[in-house]
A and B are shown apart, each in its own frame.
Chain A
C-alpha cells in the first residue's frame, strides 16, 4: 500500500505531501512517541513563552535591599533581663558545665541559694548581640558551648569557689566582679584579699606610725623621757658637742616634765 501511494504522497522530491491521512496510524495512547498533529504543533509554536527582556543589564540596576531582620519579642525580653542582671549584680561569673545531671544541678542550686547566688541561662546569640552593644565586649569569647551564669548582688567569691570545688564538672572561666573582668586566677586572688575595712585600717596605721610613736613616747613617764635625753647629752659630749647647748637642753626638759 505504501508503494502505490508513494507517487501521490511525494509528488516532487523535498516537498511535504499535499494530503495527510489522520485516521490511519496508531491509537491515542502508544508506547512510542507519537508525532504531534500539525495543528497542535502550530498552536504550540504560536503560544511559546517569550521572556521579557530587561531594559538594562542586570549589573546596572541597584541590588534589591534585604529587609533588616527584626528581633523577635522573646529576644527583646531576654535582652532586658540581661540588662537588669548586669546593672544590679556586682558579680557575674561564667561557668562551663560538662553535662550535669538534674540532681547535681538541684544540689548546686540549693548550695548557691544559701549565699544568694542564682544560676541563669541565656542563649548564646542573644548574649553575643547584647555584649556587642554594651561595654562588656571582651566577655564575648567566653560564651562557647554549654555555659551557665552565676549572678549575685554581693561578690561572695569564696563561697562560690568552695561550692564549685565540690562539683568537678563545672569549670569557672571568668567573672565580672564590680565592673572588672577577671580570669580564674584573678578570681582566686580576689577571694584571698582581706576585706575593705581591714585594708583601710592597715593603711591608716601605716601612715600614722611615726606620729603615733612620738605621741606614745611623750606620754610615757617623764622620768623615762629625761633619762633618754640625758643619755643623748652624754653621747653628744663624748662626740665633742658644746657644753652650753647641753646645759640649756637639761633645764628645758625639766620644765616640760
Chain B
C-alpha cells in the first residue's frame, strides 16, 4: 500500500483506542483493522499517534475510538463491519482533514 494514495495517512489522527473481547466470534474484522493500523507503514506516517488496545472479557462489542487532532471523534462499532469498510471510512476522513498539507507539499 503506497503511503500517499492507497494507504493510511494518519497525520491528522491523535489517538486510536481499540477495545474488544477476544473470546467472541465477531472480532475478526476489528483485529484485522488493528493489524493494519499497527503496521509499520501506517505508524511511520505519524509517530505521535498512539495506538492503544484494551482486551476485555465482558462479551461487549468491539469498539474502535479514533480521536483526531482537531478534536473530532470517530467511533466505529466493529461487530458487523468489515475491515475494508472501516479502513475506507478512516481514510476518507483522514484525507479530508489533511488535504492542505498534502496539496501544498505536492505543489
What is the interface of chain A, defined by CB distance below 8 A to chain B? Answer: 96, 98-99, 101, 138, 141-142, 144-146, 168-169, 171-174, 183-186
Contact = CB atoms under 8 A, between A and B. Distances in A.
A144 B40 CA distance: 20
Nearest to B28: A144
Given A141-B23, A142-B23, A174-B23, A183 B31 contact: no
Interface string B13-36: 000000000111101100110110
A198 to B, nearest CB: 27
B27 A144 contact: yes
Interface of B: 22-25, 27-28, 31-32, 34-35, 37-40, 51-53, 55-57
Given A144-B27, A144-B28, A171 B35 contact: no
B40 A101 contact: yes
A171 B34 CA distance: 11
Contacts of A173: 22, 55
Nearest to A174: B22
Contacts, number: 53
B31 A144 contact: yes
Instruction: Pick from B25, B40, B53 the residue with the most CB of A within 10 Å.
Output: B53
Contacts of B23: 138, 141-142, 174, 183
Nearest to B38: A98
Contacts of B31: 96, 144-145
Nearest to A183: B57
Nearest to B37: A98
B35 to A, nearest CB: 5
Contacts of B39: 98-99
Given A96-B22, A138-B23, 4 more contacts: A98-B39, A145-B31, A184-B55, A186-B57
Contact of A169 (B22, B32, B38, B56): B38
B25 A171 contact: no
A99 B38 contact: yes
A184 B32 contact: no
A171 B38 CA distance: 11
Contacts of B27: 141, 144
B53 A171 contact: yes
Nearest to A172: B55
A168 B35 CA distance: 13
B34 A98 contact: yes
